């Protein structure tokens, strides 16, 4: 997967004659992405944003080739984010990797330090939670994609881009009420720095927290058993072909190993900025006791 990938010239999205075999639906019921069969392999459409063709015809010996076209109204930054935060992890899992949708921070606790990951639905608070840790002195490693390298008995969480994509209210909570932004209605790319620390080296994954969907719930952390953990992790994976049984079985086995090897916890809390210090303290206490 080319790290210096750039989009093709913009073009309108034409009506597709094929039927989507899979869709990503947001918690609000909107279609975020749809997946179609294509002569070269697959076409992934992000409605109103971009189309990507994934050429898998020669991927037995090489990584799939990617061609992507934004719509004229989609800025270059958005389509690059789609590539990094969706296309790359989709292809990573397709090629035998282990990628999840989530954020992560590094907690330094002597020899037992490592990374904790937060998984959750879109707009569920995982990036804001990671940012709050980074503002407290615990560097973030990634804000949207968990990339794990399983080697030597450990799951090494790979750092990604040194930026957080935050809505304006979350960004101002972390950086200050007077922070100015170009667009008040869209997510902002906030670069790491002294106010938001970033970890540039891989860290061993120690714990996974799956954020609950009740945004008014009382603060609680509960360890999931193996069956619960696997069930909780699977919706946060990136799958290209839900009908490819061989690849699905291999992916399921990797996920089962992860849920067995790493402690997984259900995390509930009220989505209120004033609650974040309590949530951080609870996670740190749980990390130390595990």
**Based on the domain organization, do 87 and 173 belong to the same domain?**
no
In order along its 290 residues, the chain shows pLDDT tens digits of 444 577 899 999 999 999 999 999 988 889 999 999 999 899 999 999 999 999 988 766 667 889 999 999 998 888 988 999 999 999 999 999 999 999 999 997 656 679 999 999 888 899 999 999 999 999 999 988 999 999 988 999 999 988 888 877 888 888 876 666 666 667 777 888 888 999 999 999 999 999 999 999 999 999 999 999 999 999 999 999 989 999 999 999 999 999 999 999 999 999 999 999 999 999 999 999 88
pLDDT of residue 92: 92
**Based on the domain organization, do 121 and 25 belong to the same domain?**
no
Q: How far are the Cα atoms of 98, 188, 196 from residue 200, in angstroms, in the given order?
A: 19, 21, 13
The domain of 73 spans 1-95
Q: For the domain that residue 213 is a member of, what is the CATH number?
A: 3.40.50.300
Query: How many other C-beta atoms lie within 10 A of the C-beta of residue 268?
Result: 18
**Based on the domain organization, do 86 and 111 belong to the same domain?**
no
Are 68 and 79 a contacting pair, CB within 8 Å? yes
Strands 50-55 and 41-46: antiparallel
Residue where one domain finishes, among candidates 64, 95, 126:
95
Count: domains in the chain: 2
**Based on the domain organization, do 80 and 116 belong to the same domain?**
no
**Based on the domain organization, do 5 and 123 belong to the same domain?**
no
pLDDT of residue 173: 84
**Based on the domain organization, do 88 and 107 belong to the same domain?**
no
pLDDT of residue 4: 57
Q: How far apart are CA 177 and CA 158, in angstroms?
A: 32
Residue where one domain finishes, among candidates 62, 95, 128:
95
According to DSSP, residue 198 is labeled B
pLDDT of residue 1: 44
Residue where one domain finishes, among candidates 39, 69, 95:
95
Q: How far apart are CA 168 and CA 223, in angstroms?
A: 33
Beta bridge partners of 220: 268
**Based on the domain organization, do 35 and 120 belong to the same domain?**
no
**Based on the domain organization, do 49 and 192 belong to the same domain?**
no
Q: How far are the Cα atoms of 131, 169, 182, 203, 251 from residue 187, in angstroms, in the given order?
A: 14, 10, 10, 27, 31
**Based on the domain organization, do 73 and 213 belong to the same domain?**
no
**Based on the domain organization, do 278 and 246 belong to the same domain?**
yes
**Based on the domain organization, do 62 and 197 belong to the same domain?**
no
Question: In this structure, what are the phi and psi dihedrals at residue 236, rounded to the nearest 5 degrees?
Answer: -105, 15
**Based on the domain organization, do 139 and 193 belong to the same domain?**
yes
Run of H or E including 160: none
């Amino acid at each position: 997967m080319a790290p210096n990938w750039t989009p093709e010239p913009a073009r309108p999205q034409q009506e597709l004659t094929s039927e989507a075999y899979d869709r990503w639906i947001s918690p609000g019921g909107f279609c975020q992405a749809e997946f179609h069969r294509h002569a070269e392999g697959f076409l992934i459409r992000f409605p109103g944003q971009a189309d990507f063709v994934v050429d898998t015809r020669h991927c037995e010996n090489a990584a799939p080739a990617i061609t992507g076209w934004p719509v004229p109204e989609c800025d270059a930054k958005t389509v690059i984010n789609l590539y990094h935060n969706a296309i790359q992890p989709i292809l990573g899992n397709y090629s035998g990797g282990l990628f999840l949708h989530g954020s992560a921070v590094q907690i330094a606790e002597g020899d037992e330090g490592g990374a904790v990951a937060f998984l959750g639905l879109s707009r569920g608070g995982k990036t804001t939670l990671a940012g709050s840790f980074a503002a407290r002195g615990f560097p973030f490693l990634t804000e949207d994609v968990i990339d794990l390298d399983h080697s030597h008995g450990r799951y090494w969480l790979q750092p990604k881009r040194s930026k957080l994509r935050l809505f304006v209210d979350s960004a101002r909570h972390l950086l200050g009420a007077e922070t100015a932004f170009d667009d008040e209605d869209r997510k902002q790319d906030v670069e790491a720095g002294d106010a938001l620390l970033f970890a540039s080296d891989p860290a061993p994954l120690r714990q996974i927290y799956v954020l609950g969907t009740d945004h008014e719930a009382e603060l609680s952390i509960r360890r999931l058993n193996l069956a619960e953990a696997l069930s909780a992790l699977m919706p946060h994976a990136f799958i290209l072909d839900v009908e490819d049984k061989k690849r699905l079985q291999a992916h399921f086995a990797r996920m089962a190993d992860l849920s067995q090897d790493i402690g997984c916890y259900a995390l509930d809390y009220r989505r209120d900025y004033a609650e974040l210090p309590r949530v951080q303290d609870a996670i740190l206490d749980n990390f130390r006791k595990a």
